[in-house]
Structure formats: structure tokens, C-alpha cells
Structure 1
């Protein structure tokens, strides 16, 4: 099951603010928390007390908590990779290795007696995971998570992201990546231009970022990298269909009630023998074939436009089509809606036989 997560940074906030944020996120269906020890500079006892308190609260809401660590953290707190009791005492469910060891050490960690999950950094296109698996790691205790990038123009390019992610997916490892809130100002460092994994996401709406990650079919968990996302953003993510592409549309003013119903109330399935010019939802024409679709003034077919066959279209009357490539006008079709510009790039992820929905932009 795909999950949603938030990030908290106790060293840059207060327990009350963090707990309030965790409670709000839980209300909107978030299930996991990322938090970071990389930038912590407080003494061992203080860190233990602060993190134990906030993690304990998160556990009362059944939130999974993963701690981001690196070899320097092990050295700072005099922790051995052979004994992860420090993290277990905090109450964490796992540790994320921002920087790795030698493969053998990671493999040994997966057999820790505390049942802690070992989360690997996914943002390197090398044989790191293969090396760990070669050392007979307990794959059931391995998960993966990409980095986030606080500085503009340093996030991952799309093709590289895909290549890195495939390395984990082919082994059945659970994956995660970060999206950025447009309101969050807190991260682990003093630079925060947004905390996303993919550079192309930095200025996008938070729900579009999440839709894109899930549309790749390579990411299981979507985590907000910066704190604090506002309630509207949390709700946007909480309301998303996690297993289906949903595209926001603006309805055409002349569309009829039956055209509204077909567009918004149906789960559409792309025809399997696909066209490069359009996504065809043909099942709806069978259901609505006896309804009337009066002919309206025709307009050119442009990428992102949504049409329904009108009364002059014979057996194709009632068929819904989402345009992928610009085409000449066709008087046999009525324009009913437009996919919002920000989401048009997601059309390429509607594969043969894919289910998808169109929802009204609010």
C-alpha cells in the first residue's frame, strides 16, 4: 500500500509544534515520519530525551518513524553498527543510512535484534544495493528512500531518478521519495529552497508532485521534506487516490449535465489498442449511448482538451477522449473540459488499460 509521510526537525523547532503537526498529518491519513540526526549537535542525553519524547507521541498515533543517520552520527554518539540499541531505545522503527558503509556492515544491520528497518539511500545509480544483497542481507528489513535537495537546481534529473529507482524496484524493495511544501521553511540545514527529490518538482503544487511520483509506478511512499506544510497541502495529499491517476480539469461552460456526469463521475479506462493522438475511454459510450449529445460549435483539438462524441458521431457517440497531440477540429465531438496546464505532463503516464479519473478543479 502506498503511504504518505511528513518530516520533522526537533533541533530546529519545539516539541509542541512538532506534536501539533504530527497530529494534523495523522488526521489526513499520513502514516510515516522522517526525522534527521545529521545536523544534531546536542549531547547524547539531551538528544535521547528529546527524540524519545516526540517518537513516543508519534507511536500513539501508529506513525512509523525513520531516523536519518550517517557514519559521522555513529562516531559522534559512539554507536557501533553491531549494536543499534541507541535507535531502538529512542523508539524508532528504522534508520536511514544517508551515507553507506561497505555492504557487509549494512547486511549485518538487517539482522539487528531490535527489528529496526534499514533504509538505504536510493539517489545513486551504482551497484550499492546489489553489493548489500550479495552479502546475504535480510531483504525483508531493507527499504529505500531518495535524498532531498535544499538548494535550487541541485535536485535529481528525471532520467537519473528513474534509473536509480528501478534498481530497488526490481528487487521488490519498498521505496520513498520527497516532495516539497510551498509553505514549509524548516529543514536540517540553513538553506531551504524547498526539499524535493526531483528538481522539476520544486515549484509545482504539492499534489502534482505526489501524483507524478506515484505515476512512475516506482515510488511507494511520498514524504514531505520540509516542515511545516500547511493544512491545505496536507488535505490535498490526503485526498489523493493513491492507486490511480487523477487529473484536475476545468469544465467548459457549454457542457451539458450528462457530459459533466460522464467526465467527472466515471472511472475511465484507456483503450488497450492505444492511439498516439488521444486517450480513449470507450466503456462510457456503451453506458450512455442512448443519451442525447447535441451538436455544438466545434473547436480545434489541443493537448489536454477533453471531448465527448456528439449525436453526429454514430457508434462513437458518448465516447470520452483526452487529446494528447494537437489535431484539426472535428465537428462530431463536443469540447467538455480542459486538463489544467500544470498536470498535462501526467497524461503520458496513462498507459494501455490504465484506469484514471477526471476531477473538477476547485
Structure 2
């Protein structure tokens, strides 16, 4: 399985090169390493396209990006080039071409042996046996990648169950995968409709950090790409700081939290106990470290609901200072309410599976 990466998108046929360069430089500083460039709207000839794209791509390569060009059959016709001769894209210094439209399987397999050693990126957003068909023609597997579509029109993004089914086809074959999230500030995309550019419809109005946490938490996506341009500096920084390998929940602290409880929340690696329960997510290893520490019963409420974070107090015997995240409402005076998970992140609790690692971060 590939290491997890972050990407941004630029649209050279709708933007100024210097603005794109500035954006790529900012994102590179935050650890972004992949750039998606749309060539679906190209209308100039080879010479002008080469000049425009090569300048931007060479700058991206200097910053350490791998570059994907999104192409369609009519672009090849307009530029007078062939799928069986990808030297034009090699001269542009691209690393990957994304086939916006599929062929018959045999064709994609043949293209994957291109002498330029360009990766061939397949559209993941169809729940059909497309990938296996290509692989059955003895495709050059290390050069086959997958990437979902994005959906500019509100209401047209993928539902989660369908997304999972499509993605598992690629994960089961150990093919590198990518999907899109949408910036809440970006206005630029490939078309004149831009209600955001997510892969999943449920992401369209969420903060971009939560979208990215979700895609990585599914275990099905290796690269999360911001579909629209331009993400804000704050969005880039937040994504750059995120842990790509375990969920970190944003929490709001209770007013009466004590110092021991604060340490338990933030200073330790949390692990969900393997023998799980429906009632709570139990992080039990912390109680071994903090068991001797006093933790009086709080004067606050002891009625809990989903997303509340509680810690066992002095009345909880051997379970004192065990941290729990509430899944089902209940009451228990032996537990202190110390924090609450952000409402928008509650759905991510479904991804804290047996033995899953997780962190907590103060809002």
C-alpha cells in the first residue's frame, strides 16, 4: 500500500500562470506533493499548449510535485497526437495521464507499456469490472493508478456506499488510489458550474479537513486532492498539519477539566480496546499510566450522549482514569465529562475500529 499524500488542482486554461505558481509554492511548503492539471478544455494548438503547460509543469517538478494531466480523446485529436505515442506528455514533464474516458481494456493495457514510462490513471467512479478487465490483458501493473471523479454540480457526487464499492475494486488489487475534496473558498474548476468539486456528495459543505480525515479513515484512498482552486492558506496549513494515518478528533473542553484529565486527553496515544462494546470506545492503556493520580468526581453533569469524552473518576475503582468516547447515551456518576467531539466529526466515530489508534486535539 502506498504512503498517503496530498494534492492540489490547477486549471491553466482558466487562470494566470503566476497565480498558479504562487499557489503551488504555498501548498508545497505544507507538504503537498501531487498536482492535478486539467487538459479537458484545451483549445490551442500543440505549440501554444506546450509553452503554457511546460512552464507550469517544470515549476511544479522543481517544487517536488508529481504531475497528473487529465485528458480526453478529443484532446488527442485536437493536438494531433496518439494514445500510442505519449512523447508529447513526456516533453511536458508530466508523470501521469488520467484517462477521462475508458476503452476496451486491451487498449489501456497496451498504453501502460508506453516507453515514456508514464503512469496511466483510471477513472475509479464506476462500479464495474473495468480494472480487472484491463489487468486480465497483462497490464503493466506498477504503472496503473486509480482516481475518482469530482462533481461540480450540487447533488451529483457519489453516495458513500457506492464510493466504497468502487474503491474496494482498486484496493483489492493494490492499485494506488486518489479522490477529491473541495475547498470552501475555491471558485475555480474546469467548467462554468462550480458548486464545489468533491468526489463524495456528503462532503460538499464540510470543512476540507474533515473531508480529508474521512477519505483517509476509509482506508481506501492513498492521495487526497483538493479539486477546486484556490484553497485558502488556512485550509492548506490545516491539511498540512493533519495526521494522515490515524484519526485526530477536534474536541471542545469542559470548563471544569483538571490537569490530569487534560494530560490524559492530549499527551498519550489512544487505542480502542480490541474487545469492543456498543456503549463506548474504550482507551484503557492510559489508566495504567495515570491510575495512581487522583481524579475527584466533577460537579458537572454525568448524563452523556454520543461524542462526549469521559474519564473515570476516583469512584470508578480499577477503571479510574480510563478514557472513553460515548457512542450511546447513558448516565454514570463515576465518569467525568471532560470534552465533546465536534458535531461535524461525529460520523467519523464509525471508523474507530477494534485496535484503531486515535488522537484528540483541542479546538
Question: Is the CA contact 1:310–1:332 (under 8 Å) kept in the aligned structure 2?
Answer: yes
Question: Is the CA contact 2:295–2:313 (under 8 Å) kept in the aligned structure 1?
Answer: yes
Give 1:255's aligned residue: 257
Question: Shift of the alpha carbon at 1:299?
Answer: 2.1
Give 1:15's aligned residue: 17
Question: Is the CA contact 1:71–1:100 (under 8 Å) kept in the aligned structure 2?
Answer: no
* Correspondence list, 1:78-97, <5 A: 78-97=80-99
TM-score (norm: length of structure 1): 0.99
Question: Shift of the alpha carbon at 1:213?
Answer: 0.2
In 1: Cα distance, 2:31 partner to 2:73 partner: 33
Question: Shift of the alpha carbon at 1:79?
Answer: 1.5
Say if 2:328 is the partner of 1:325.
yes
Q: Which of 131, 140, 144 matches 2:142?
A: 140
Say if 2:119 is the partner of 1:114.
no
Number of aligned residue pairs: give it. 360
* Correspondence list, 1:32-111, <5 A: 32-111=34-113
SS of equivalent to 1:285? helix
Question: Shift of the alpha carbon at 1:43?
Answer: 1.9
Question: Is the CA contact 2:282–2:323 (under 8 Å) kept in the aligned structure 1?
Answer: yes
In 1: Cα distance, 2:14 partner to 2:8 partner: 15
Cα RMSD for the two superposed structures: 0.7
Question: Is the CA contact 2:98–2:121 (under 8 Å) kept in the aligned structure 1?
Answer: yes
Question: Which ranges in structure 2 are unaligned for 5 or more consecutive residues?
Answer: none
In 2: Cα distance, 1:214 partner to 1:346 partner: 11
Give 2:280's aligned residue: 278
CA-to-partner distance for each residue in 1:185-225, whole Å, 9 max, x for gaps?
Answer: 11011110000000000000000000000000000000000
TM-score (norm: length of structure 2): 0.98
CA-to-partner distance for each residue in 1:51-80, whole Å, 9 max, x for gaps?
Answer: 000000011111000000111112221221
Q: Runs ≥4 in structure 1, deviation > 4 angstroms?
A: none
Question: Which ranges in structure 1 are unaligned for 5 or more consecutive residues?
Answer: none
